[in-house]
Structure 1
Amino acid sequence: MNVQNTSRSGGRAARRAARATALPENLRPVRAGLEGGQYKPLSEAHVLKIHHAALDALETIGLADAPKSGVDYLTNAGAIQGADGRIRFPRALVEDALAKANRSVILMSRDGLTDLDLSGDRVHYGTAGAAVHLVDIDGKHYRDCGVQDLHDAAKIVNRLDNVHFCQRPMVCRDITDNLEMDYNSIYACVSGTTKHIGTSFTDPAFVNPAMEMLHMIAGGEDKWRERPFVSNTNCFVVPPMKFATESCLVMEECIKHGMPVLLLSAGMAGATAPSTIAGAIVQAVAECLAGLVYVQAVKPGHPTVFGTWPFGLDLRTGAMTGGSGEQALLTAGCAQMHSFYDLPGGAAAGIADSKLPDMQAGWETMCSNVMAGLSGCNMIYEAAGMHASLLGFCHESLILGDDVIGQALRCVRGIEVTEETLALDQIAEVCLGGPGHYLGTSATLSRMQSDHCYPTYGNRMSPKEWVERDKPDLLETATARKHEILNAPSAAMFDPALDRAIRAKFNIHLPA
């Protein structure tokens, strides 16, 4: 027994030593841009039916409420405005827009180290949303969120390996002026993380001042246009099948300034979209195809993300159900349509209806994140930190979400079957005169880091070790990590001279 215990202890020590050695990026068990697409909830015949139904909707129903400039762009491209004012899209026009669309979109990071390649079925997870509350887990209550909370979220994202981008997840409710809120949201995020940022604008007139700030940060307009590290999250439609006039004007401005655009259609199944999963996907696809035609009419080939974001609804109450199985299927089905069109695409997953980071939040977050990743969704938004069906954001949940996404990415990576991984030589070595187990063998140690994704915060201790370590609590661990990150300087902080120049030109609410 003593010999066996020593052997096990030595094996454990060796494994710990191996884990302490950092792996190069290409050998990490999970990373940004893993290829999904293994899960296909729709048959090829069903994909075609959805595609043709979306084309029928565009040709016969069309969209209302385009701004005057949008009407001009679309009709000059070949769309038809009817007597009822609705813009209808002939099939050939949609097919032409699909042919012109940019399929080589790379969303840039500020430092060039975490760029996001959206080609094929490459999978990336990140934040998003417009939560109006911050979840305080200590007091189990919700409070209004502010610019400091947004900056803190970005700082945390910067330290999380499995959260690949930071689309603004909260609204700065402590800033009442909308112009100041828009450019302060950008400042708070960009000064918190060097990863790609997504943001929105409340008025087309607010794009220019924000661009002036971004040019300063980038080092000039030419450098910004070379590497635009912020994209515009644009709710260009008001489902069902209406353009959002102001947002369309914002989109036009962002395109002129070289800012990538996320075309976001967010219908609620059973309210502003059909209650069936297939019908909600049809409408979302139709609306985003209309947006794609619009973008190509303004500037062919402009970098665009096809953002079908239909949400589930609890038809008993009318409440959104972001953590439901229906939501997971909506997102996975939309991702399959992105793949069908071979377009960079994005959808929502990881949303919890639960109000706090508890067991309900865990199953809700994992369910849709895994299915979205397996379906090959390029940009999986709202993947960590979101509670109460997007009304609340939690920093601790963002941190714990890094573990959730890590396991989801391991599922996306799948099972490699090669002569080496079939391991017949290992089986023979261990069973024929070997130790009778694989613990501590050279083959196990050589692959333990590259094959296995270990939780950073999740607890795999035995009950005995758990007691010996004073019964560590998951949320307390996450809170301690939060304080550790937030007490350190931001790795994305601006040069002091640049920061002074920005503050001299803009009313920055975040303390210096």
Structure 2
Amino acid sequence: MSKRRTRTGQYLLAGCNLEFLTKDAIELIHLGSLAVLEKSGFFVEHDQALDIFEENGALVDRHHKMVKIPGYLVEECLRTCPPQVLVAGRDPKDDVHFESNRVHFCPFGIGVGVHDPFTGQYRKAVKEDVANAAKLCDALEEFDMLELVVTPSDVNPKTANLHIYEALMAHTTKPCLTDPEPCLSPYIFRMAEAVAGGKENLKNRPPMCGIVCPQSPLMLHHNLCEGIIAYARRELPMIMEPMTMAGASSPITLAGTLTAHNAEVLACIALAQLTQKGTPVIYGCTSTIFDMKSATSPVGCPELGMIAAASVKIAQNYHIPTWVAGGLTDSKLNDMQAGHEKTLTALLPALAGANMVYGFGMLDTGMTFDFSSLVADNEFIRMMRRILQGIPVTDESLAVDVIQEIGARGSYLMHDHTLSNYRTEQSRISHLERRNREQWLNSGATDYTTRIEEEAKQILRTHQPKPLEESVAQELREIIAEAEKDLL
């Protein structure tokens, strides 16, 4: 089975395809969200978006920039959302299909610092770090797509997203995320067209996906509306991803947060579908809690995984693909806290059937990218994929004839059944330690952190991603130069 076709509940496995909410609970959250959108409404800071809502039957208060959208209109918009979304790789083998319960994995973004892979010291991120992160992700087989990773401090912030996209596309064949920043979108679209091979190819095989984040509670700010409209007019895929904080920007109860979160997603989806029916959209979630003790919004808390898993079930009820946070930590180091939190927050949404779980490679509440952490997470994801494959129960796997043949006091070690199946039945490790103590001591007694740090450095020294055609690479550089001339 291809690694990019991992499905939850692929076999009959109790506990996989995790049902985190009952059907009745999902319906109550849906109805609650519709009531919020129709009776309370939401703030829209964009005149054209207000026009679009009003022309399609929403009640618009232009003085206060409030929109109340009837439930039937929201449900009509949901019906026009495609159930599958393609984000294409430069190489078709790297295509990512958001559909059904197919599960993929992606690093996090967008941090401001890195742990230098060669010195181990913390420093501000630079453009070379974006390239190196893409190179590392390109080499690590369990990652399917790339986020924006880090914001480079050595380029002008007004055009930083263009530099990020160039560095990503030049160092991996896997598809990438983009930020639909209004002033940069025309340049991003041209860069994506260059990579895809023209406007028609961009529409049919988009090598990128936009992401928009409403401002909680219930605010569609100007840049978000501009991005949604721009992407929808081109029928390009985008993720609608609220980042609510339970107790601060959404209700303290998780059910209330899910209702508010869902209302914000539905408002964004409505704008996209009313702009262009059939626009490919993905239901996003990075909502968490506001921790009352630390006055922070932690991402390694169990509630983040719970909200993400619940959001997956809500979106599946709408037949919309999903992109949710997981594999995150608030720890500043690759330590026991990081391992615990990454496992907790990633496994829940993966078991629920999230189409994309993103958040890997980061420490420090998503603020610091760590190259060795990405190597560790790659191995962790491989373990998760094994869990997601489940336990097939067939005549071959039951092995009744083999059990009878071996009988009492026999050995299965060299039996043909063992030799034929052990590669697919057992998890594979690269850096985890399973040897006995004597073997470990004789091999140098290195710890896990040392092993993953060495692997990260080795990949960065030796891996050569498939390069862009020089004409395409040159066109990307020229577009960035033009943007900097126009905008700076």
TMscore range, shorter length: over 0.9
Aligned Cα root-mean-square deviation (Å): 2.0
Counterpart Cα distance in 2 of 1:392 and 1:487: 22
Contact (CA 8 Å) 2:6, 2:389: kept in 1 or not? no
Shift of 1:245: 1.3
Counterpart Cα distance in 1 of 2:463 and 2:358: 27
Asked if 1:131 corresponds to 2:105, the answer is no
Asked if 1:296 corresponds to 2:276, the answer is no
Shift of 1:265: 0.8
TM-score, reference length from structure 2: 0.93
Aligned to 2:485: none
Q: Structure 1 residues 123, 205: closer, same or farther in 2, change over 3 A?
A: same
CA deviation vs aligned residue, 1:292-341 (integer Å, no higher than 9, x gap): 11110111111111113212332212212211111111111111111111
Q: How many residues align?
A: 476
Task: Supply the AA of the counterpart residue of 2:232.
Answer: I
Aligned to 2:362: 386
Contact (CA 8 Å) 2:187, 2:479: kept in 1 or not? no
Moved more, 74-83 or 439-448: 74-83
Aligned to 2:92: 112
Shift of 1:257: 3.5
In the TM superposition, what are the counterparts of 1:404-483 in structure 2 within 5 Å?
Answer: 404-431=380-407, 436-483=410-457
In the TM superposition, what are the counterparts of 1:8-407 in structure 2 within 5 Å?
Answer: 26=1, 31-35=4-8, 38-82=17-61, 84-136=64-116, 141-179=121-159, 181-202=160-181, 204-235=182-213, 237-382=214-359, 384-407=360-383
Shift of 1:281: 1.0
Structure 2 counterpart SS, 1:290: helix
Contact (CA 8 Å) 1:137, 1:356: kept in 2 or not? no
Q: Percent identity?
A: 25
Structure 2 counterpart SS, 1:182: helix
Task: Supply the AA of the counterpart residue of 1:273.
Answer: S
CA deviation vs aligned residue, 1:8-66 (integer Å, no higher than 9, x gap): xxxxxxxxxxxxxxxxxx2x6x5444235621121121111111111111111111033
Structure 2 counterpart SS, 1:113: helix
CA deviation vs aligned residue, 1:62-87 (integer Å, no higher than 9, x gap): 11033001111111122111364311
Q: Structure 1 residues 188, 442: closer, same or farther in 2, change over 3 A?
A: same
Aligned to 2:462: 488
Counterpart Cα distance in 2 of 1:375 and 1:294: 27
Contact (CA 8 Å) 1:265, 1:284: kept in 2 or not? yes
Contact (CA 8 Å) 1:198, 1:233: kept in 2 or not? yes
Structure 2 counterpart SS, 1:346: strand
Task: Supply the AA of the counterpart residue of 2:345.
Answer: S
Asked if 1:506 corresponds to 2:488, the answer is no
Counterpart Cα distance in 2 of 1:429 and 1:320: 58
| 5+ long unaligned stretches in structure 2 | 10-15, 483-488
Counterpart Cα distance in 2 of 1:137 and 1:51: 45
Shift of 1:448: 1.0
Structure 2 counterpart SS, 1:506: helix
Structure 1 counterpart SS, 2:209: strand
Structure 1 counterpart SS, 2:324: strand
Contact (CA 8 Å) 2:372, 2:452: kept in 1 or not? yes
Shift of 1:139: 6.3
Task: Supply the AA of the counterpart residue of 1:252.
Answer: I
Structure 1 counterpart SS, 2:92: coil
TM-score, reference length from structure 1: 0.89
Shift of 1:160: 1.5
Task: Supply the AA of the counterpart residue of 1:80.
Answer: L
Aligned to 1:10: none
Task: Supply the AA of the counterpart residue of 2:132.
Answer: D
Shift of 1:219: 2.4
Counterpart Cα distance in 2 of 1:341 and 1:66: 27
Shift of 1:475: 2.0
Shift of 1:205: 2.1
Q: Structure 1 residues 474, 341: closer, same or farther in 2, change over 3 A?
A: same
Shift of 1:504: 4.1
Counterpart Cα distance in 2 of 1:215 and 1:137: 33
Counterpart Cα distance in 1 of 2:366 and 2:477: 31
Moved more, 38-47 or 92-101: 38-47
CA deviation vs aligned residue, 1:81-102 (integer Å, no higher than 9, x gap): 1364311111100110111111
CA deviation vs aligned residue, 1:385-430 (integer Å, no higher than 9, x gap): 1111111111110111011111112222222112221221121122
Contact (CA 8 Å) 2:228, 2:271: kept in 1 or not? no
Q: Structure 1 residues 199, 490: closer, same or farther in 2, change over 3 A?
A: farther
Shift of 1:371: 0.9
Aligned to 2:486: none
Contact (CA 8 Å) 2:166, 2:476: kept in 1 or not? no
Contact (CA 8 Å) 2:113, 2:367: kept in 1 or not? yes
Q: Structure 1 residues 186, 139: closer, same or farther in 2, change over 3 A?
A: closer
Counterpart Cα distance in 1 of 2:269 and 2:78: 8
Contact (CA 8 Å) 1:264, 1:306: kept in 2 or not? yes
Contact (CA 8 Å) 1:104, 1:119: kept in 2 or not? yes
